[in-house]
Amino acid sequence: MNEPYFLSLLIFSPLLGILALSLIPKEQEKTIKMIGVLATLPSLLLALFAFVKHLNGYDLSQLTERREWIHFGKFSFLNETNFTIGYELHIDGLALVMILLTTLLATFAALASTSITKEWKGYFMLFLLLEIGMLGVFAASNLVLFFIFFEITLIPMFFLIGKWGYFEKEKAAYSYLVYNGLGSAILLIVIAVLLARTGTSNVAEIHRIFTDPVAQMQMVSPISEQLRYGLFIALLIAFGVKLPIVPLHRWMLRVHVQAPPAVVMLHSGVLLKIGAFGLIRFALGLFPGQFQQLSTLIVILGVVNLLYGAFLAFVQNDFKMVLAYSSVSHMGIVLIGLGSLNEAGVQGAIFQAVSHGFISAFLFFLVGVLYERVQTTSLDRLGGLAKVMPLTAGFFLAGAMASLGLPGTSGFISEFMAFLGLFKVNPVIAAVGTLGIIMTAVYLLRAVLNMTYGPAKQNDRVSDLRGMEFIPAISLFALIVLIGIYPNVLAAPLQTTIETIMNGLGG
Amino acid sequence: MMENAWLIPLFPLISFLLLLVVGKQLKERSAYVGMLLTFASFVGSLFVLNERLTMPTYKAEYVWLTIGTMKLTAGFEVSALNALMLLIVSLVSFLVHMYSKGYMHGDERFPVFYAYLGLFTFAMLGLVLSPNLLQTYIFWELVGLGSFLLIGFYFYKEEAKAAAKKAFIMTRIGDVGLLIGMILLFWQVGSFEYDEIFTAVANGDVSSSLLTLSAILIFVGAIGKSGQFPLHTWLPDAMEGPTPVSALIHAATMVAAGVYLVAALFPLYEASETAMMTVAIVGGFTAIFAASIGLVQKDIKRILAYSTVSQLGYMMLALGSAGYVAGVFHLMTHAFFKALLFLAAGSVIHAVHTQNIEEMGGLWRKMQLTAPLFLIGTLAISGFPLFSGFFSKDEILIAAWNHGHVGLFILAVIAAFFTAFYMFRLFFLVFTGEARLDAHHVHESPSVMTIPMMVLGVLAIGSGYVQTPWFGAFLGEWLTEGTHWHAHEEGPSWIMIVATMVSLLGIFVAWLMYGKKALARDWLSSRFPLLYNVLFNKYYVDEFYGSTVVYATKAVSILCQYIDRFLVEGMANLIAATASGIGRLGARLQNGQVQMYGTVTIIGLALLVVIFAVTGGYL
């Protein structure tokens, strides 16, 4: 079965929603919110469909799309396809998993967006545009196309933060734009160099040229070893901003705190993962040799992220700041896993990306619920929530447990595999890193118990979780537990990707 | 039945899930759901144990997690040790479920309590069925979760919150040791399976230094869970939880998991003399260390908690002295008599609404069931002849002596004296003398609470007879079948006499002081105030941690905070300032004068030529 339009349909189906929204008067709050949620469903269903089929053995390469798009002059004397840029989509197990994560979180975030209080029309149009960008990033198999989708995520996000955020929203939005804009610029330079030197921007093609000695001779102009290092480090910085790697993280703290919680669900849940995805796909996929040479550095950066974020999360007085630093800390695990460069480590890194996506979306969903009711996330002003909002408090505790890597949740599986991988290659650094496992428990319990345990500081009339709010809460937690007790549901589709990466390493 | 043993942990899991959903509607009827389902586990455990008595170990495994070419499995294993643990856990859990119906009566969150009990029981039963280290670790942390939730059950109390947090973090410190140990072992052996680890160890595939290192690291996990020195401080604080929880989790089952882990990995420890020595020393030291603290405490539950720490130390000492059977035997008898003591203490607290033993007294006549049952427990733990603790403690002392640990043997004997003394101090203060409370409303507990105590009372006396020097070592022979371990420790007979004398002496001194009052009660505090203060303040371990580890963590965090706020942010600002500075410079260059433009052009051209000359046109 060949499905030449499947991926395009999946990526661009939120456009339907944007079109529908543009026809609706902006006062009709209910209709707009409903369309906003419904518009995320087609891509979710398509992604689920593909995922289930793939689990049953469907070959994803049949979904590949390839169309001619942009030509630069005529270089047929070298090679027919040189300097053409194709509209090329292709997914493997990793991309499929990331797409499923995106579509799931988009639906849940859309549900959580019902608490947005103004200009719903603009909000949901930007929201859906953001989803298109994110989906495209994971499906693009052409660097230029990748970059376009990458930029598409930037713009809606800027407005979503700047317009619907909290008190310092403008500062946060500019901070977001400047950091990520610089990251994009660096990425663009890398892409331009690769296109100029290899004559193609197709990822698989570049990969073939880099690995095949014959093809290497036919390159438009050869790439020296030093330039490879340069490109690799540029990629590390470009995606390091997104991930983020300390010290490139300051912007994301502001976004975590200032953006509306529904947007943070996507930001923390998916956008940070583009950093991880980019590192795996391009830094590791195209420059395995350089990655290998610098793997110790990457592991050290990971441990720094892990510990630095954890220690900082310990002294924050705003729960959103705790979660922001917690994201920094958890992304350290991705770096640790990748830097280990073995099956366990890389799989752990991917698991961590997915797991943290669900867990942090779950926690930020709850933050949104909480803020709507008590108008604060300050740890000093919260206490005894288990008394007045027992269900919300219970979910908070469950989220904290998942985040600190309690077995039975996805957080454990990813942390475990990443450390399993690291202990094989570098037990000493790994032992230092395990301090992070303790610190995670310390700061999460401090924060969550401060909010939920102890004498009640809120009045009794605060309502608990209700109605539609149960859907995201229960679904997200169920997914976290599902991966925790049956990890092969996620591991199975990733095996080919991991095999490819390992082959690239010559292992 | 053994092939269906996996069902046993599932019953309490169902109880947990069911009560989570419909507990609110069931209210106090939740107790029946919990009791029924744990009883099903108990019956299942009985069948499994019965079958395992005559049949070999049963093991089943399935692929759980694929990592590239590696396949990690999950499954269950019914070995002799596991079958025994299943029975102990499910029985004590069932009795505690029953007892709690009376004890927790009237609590607003009654169904939640039963749900948590179900979660804990599930995790504990899962733990003792695990066939590999990874699965053990998973359930190991889940029992920690159950313990955490139940310690913090009275979540609105600051003390309970602090205690729950402390328990989770202290045990997690230990767990990280276990995690590192098991991963190191994995990369040596290539598997988490117990069988394959033992085969690799027996074949000498694991280098001896790594074997010792991983065995000790795994033992760190056991130290955390079993409240051994220096990670013991959470266990006495855990007494903030409801008393039935203390009986189930912090006396009979979870805290014994550390001992179980060392026993389950016994072939690994045996292969490393250093690791064995570490286990023995930590155990022996903890036994006397905690017992000495117990001498002067005033809270009934904390005295019992320190006694638990001390008794767990005994078990570790036994295992470290190659006394596999002795350790497991004491684990079993201790589970029964300590659960009994806690339930009886709960019955007392239920009646008098205080935990301070100096405010109690003269309860013997008021509580005619609780008091004799408490006495049985006290006699059993003191090692009084013919009670269960007598036989198991004897095995431990002989094991320590036979293994040549003379110093540890002497420590253990002194600790036995301490135990007899502080337990009878507790008994005399609570049950004899004059009532120090307004006692007319003090009453015996309802039968739903006393029946479980009676069952445990029978076991506290009788369970010792499965392994005695006189009627044969039935337990030991069964546990050690197919191994070279001693089914029974043969030792000089004077050890039993010494143990008996020491125990009687402790009881006698306690009687002199608190029964007959011939010795002044403030004998120690008036004569050695410094020593008394050190003991009363638990050797200031908490204070030490507070001023070192906790302080250092905060200091590092605040340092990071400053780095983040000023250094990192400052760097970003500097870059921004540089950018805008270059912008301003650029703006100044564009001043409309042709001379300036010409200069810039020429300099730029010169630079480009130099770059090309150096690099040869290629980067």
pLDDT in tens, B269-321: 988 989 999 999 999 999 999 999 988 888 999 999 999 999 999 999 999 99
Q: What is the pLDDT of residue B205?
A: 86
Calculate the CA B212 to chain-centre distance: 22
Reply yes or no: is the peptide bond before residue A244 cis, omega within 30 of 0.
yes
Scanning every residue of chain B, which has its alpha carbon at the shortest distance from the alpha carbon of A398? B145
pLDDT of B306-365, one tens digit each?
A: 999 999 999 999 999 988 999 999 999 999 999 999 999 999 988 888 888 888 878 888
pLDDT of B248-268, one tens digit each?
A: 988 889 999 999 999 999 999
For residue A332, give every residue at least 6 positions away whose Cβ sits within 8 Å of its Cβ, in sequence order, or none.
A301, A302, A303, A304, A305, A306, A307, A308, A309, A433, A436
Q: Nearest CB to B138: which of A227, A249, A408?
A: A408
Listed by start position, the domains of chain B span 1-131, 544-615
Does residue A408 sit at the B interface (CB-CB below 8 Å)?
yes
Contacts with A424 from chain B: Cβ below 8 Å: 187
Centre a 10 Å sphere on the Cβ of residue B314 and count the other Cβ atoms it contains. 31
CA dist B457 → B335, B454, B461 (Å): 12, 5, 6
Contact check, Cβ <8 Å, A250/B572: yes
Label residue A74 by pLDDT band (50, 70, 90).
Answer: low
Query: What ipTM does this complex have?
Result: 0.92
Calculate the CA B325 to chain-centre distance: 20
Average pLDDT over residues A192-204: 86
First vs last Cα of chain A: how many Å apart? 33
Helix (H) or strand (E) holding B412: helix B406-431
For residue B595, give every residue at least 6 positions away whose Cβ sits within 8 Å of its Cβ, in sequence order, or none.
none
Q: What is the pLDDT of residue A116?
A: 82
pLDDT-above-90 percentage for chain A:
60
Q: A222 to chain B, minimum CA–CA distance in Å?
A: 9
Contact check, Cβ <8 Å, B68/A495: yes
Q: B146 to chain A, minimum CA–CA distance in Å?
A: 12
Q: Is the pLDDT of residue A202 over 60?
A: yes
Q: Token pair of B379, please?
A: 């006699």
Scanning every residue of chain B, which has its alpha carbon at the shortest distance from the alpha carbon of A408? B138
Q: What is the pLDDT of residue A431?
A: 93
Among B64, B139, B172, B186, pick the best mutation site for testing chain A contact (most A Cβ within 10 A).
Answer: B172
**Could you tell me which residue, B115 or B522, shows the higher pLDDT?**
B115
pLDDT of B557-582, one tens digit each?
A: 999 889 988 898 888 888 888 988 99
SS (H, E, C) B68-104: CCEEEEEEEEECHHHHHHHHHHHHHHHHHHHHHHHHC
Label residue A388 by pLDDT band (50, 70, 90).
Answer: confident
Q: Are A368 and A396 in contact (CB under 8 A)?
A: no
Amino acid occupying residue B365: R
Mean pLDDT of chain A: 89
Contact check, Cβ <8 Å, B68/A344: yes
Does residue A297 sit at the B interface (CB-CB below 8 Å)?
no
Contacts with B618 from chain A: Cβ below 8 Å: 221-222, 224
Scanning every residue of chain B, which has its alpha carbon at the shortest distance from the alpha carbon of A426? B184
Q: What is the pLDDT of residue B480?
A: 84
Contacts with B186 from chain A: Cβ below 8 Å: 420
Nearest one of A501, A85, A46 to A284, comparing CA atoms: A501
Helix (H) or strand (E) holding A217: helix A213-217
Look at A81-85, A471-475, B162-166 and tell me which has the smallest mean pLDDT: A81-85
- What is the rounded distance in angstroms from the CA atom of residue A417 to the CA atom of residue A494? 14
Scanning every residue of chain B, which has its alpha carbon at the shortest distance from the alpha carbon of A431? B180
Label residue B437 by pLDDT band (50, 70, 90).
Answer: low
Q: What is the pLDDT of residue B366?
A: 82
Q: B160 to chain A, minimum CA–CA distance in Å?
A: 8
Label residue A2 by pLDDT band (50, 70, 90).
Answer: low
Contact check, Cβ <8 Å, A221/B69: no
Does residue A428 sit at the B interface (CB-CB below 8 Å)?
no
Q: Nearest CB to A224: which of B137, B176, B619?
A: B619
Number of H helices, E strands in chain A: 26, 2
Contact check, Cβ <8 Å, B155/A454: yes
Contact check, Cβ <8 Å, B155/A312: no
Scanning every residue of chain B, which has its alpha carbon at the shortest distance from the alpha carbon of A449? B161
Q: B67 to chain A, minimum CA–CA distance in Å?
A: 6
Scanning every residue of chain A, which has its alpha carbon at the shortest distance from the alpha carbon of B556? A311
Scanning every residue of chain B, which has its alpha carbon at the shortest distance from the alpha carbon of A308? B560
Contacts with A420 from chain B: Cβ below 8 Å: 67, 183, 186
Q: Nearest CB to A347: which of B68, B155, B557?
A: B68
Does residue A409 sit at the B interface (CB-CB below 8 Å)?
no
Does residue B20 sit at the A interface (CB-CB below 8 Å)?
no
Q: Nearest CB to A431: which of B145, B169, B180?
A: B180
Contact check, Cβ <8 Å, B169/A227: no
Q: Are A325 and A313 in contact (CB under 8 A)?
A: yes
Q: B554 to chain A, minimum CA–CA distance in Å?
A: 8
Q: What is the pLDDT of residue B215?
A: 94
Q: Is the pLDDT of residue B533 over 80?
A: yes
Contact check, Cβ <8 Å, B68/A445: no
Does residue B173 sit at the A interface (CB-CB below 8 Å)?
yes
Look at B238-242, B382-386, B409-413, B585-589 and tell me which has the smallest mean pLDDT: B585-589
Q: What is the pLDDT of residue B479?
A: 85
Scanning every residue of chain B, which has its alpha carbon at the shortest distance from the alpha carbon of A497? B68
Label residue A206 by pLDDT band (50, 70, 90).
Answer: confident
Average pLDDT over residues A349-371: 93
Contacts with A455 from chain B: Cβ below 8 Å: 156, 158
Q: Is the pLDDT of residue B587 over 80?
A: yes
Mean pLDDT of chain B: 89
Q: What is the pLDDT of residue A132?
A: 95
Label residue A81 by pLDDT band (50, 70, 90).
Answer: low
Q: Is the pLDDT of residue A1 over 60?
A: no
Biggest CA-to-CA distance, chain A: 79
Beta strands A65-71 and A84-89, pairing class: antiparallel
Does residue B560 sit at the A interface (CB-CB below 8 Å)?
yes
Scanning every residue of chain B, which has its alpha carbon at the shortest distance from the alpha carbon of A385? B156
Contacts with A401 from chain B: Cβ below 8 Å: 145
Contact check, Cβ <8 Å, B155/A453: yes
Contact check, Cβ <8 Å, B560/A308: yes
Calculate the CA B612 to chain-centre distance: 70
Average pLDDT over residues B35-54: 92
Q: B164 to chain A, minimum CA–CA distance in Å?
A: 9
pLDDT of A290-347, one tens digit each?
A: 999 999 999 999 999 999 999 999 999 999 999 999 999 999 999 999 999 999 999 9
Q: What is the pLDDT of residue B405?
A: 84
Q: What is the pLDDT of residue A77?
A: 57
Q: A71 to chain B, minimum CA–CA distance in Å?
A: 25
Look at A94-108, A481-495, B37-51, B475-489 and tell me which has the smallest mean pLDDT: B475-489
Does residue B512 sit at the A interface (CB-CB below 8 Å)?
no
Q: Is the pLDDT of residue A282 over 60?
A: yes
pLDDT of B180-202, one tens digit each?
A: 999 999 998 988 999 999 999 98
Contact check, Cβ <8 Å, A226/B67: no
Nearest one of A282, A296, A416, A300 to A348, comparing CA atoms: A416
Contact check, Cβ <8 Å, B67/A314: no
Contact check, Cβ <8 Å, A449/B161: yes
Q: Nearest CB to B161: which of A423, A453, A495?
A: A453
Taking only residues 125 to 164 of chain B, the set having a beta carbon closer than 8 angstroms to any beta carbon of chain A reads 134, 137-139, 141-142, 145, 152, 155-156, 158, 160-161, 164
CA dist A388 → A364, A458, B26 (Å): 20, 7, 21
Average pLDDT over residues A67-75: 74
Q: What is the pLDDT of residue B439?
A: 60
H helices within B6-79, ranges in order? 7-26, 30-52
Contact check, Cβ <8 Å, A408/B142: yes
Nearest one of B152, B171, B167, B214 to B189, comparing CA atoms: B214
Average pLDDT over residues B430-452: 80
Scanning every residue of chain B, which has its alpha carbon at the shortest distance from the alpha carbon of A412? B138
Collapsed DSSP state (helix, strand, coil) of residue A187: helix
Q: Nearest CB to B173: which of A412, A424, A438?
A: A438
Average pLDDT over residues A181-205: 89
- What is the rounded distance in angstroms from the CA atom of residue B116 to the CA atom of residue B188? 38
Nearest one of A358, A481, A444, A378 to A109, comparing CA atoms: A358
Q: Is the dihedral of CA B301, B304, B306, B309 positive or negative?
A: negative
Q: Are B63 and B8 in contact (CB under 8 A)?
A: no
- What is the rounded distance in angstroms from the CA atom of residue A167 to the CA atom of residue B366? 65
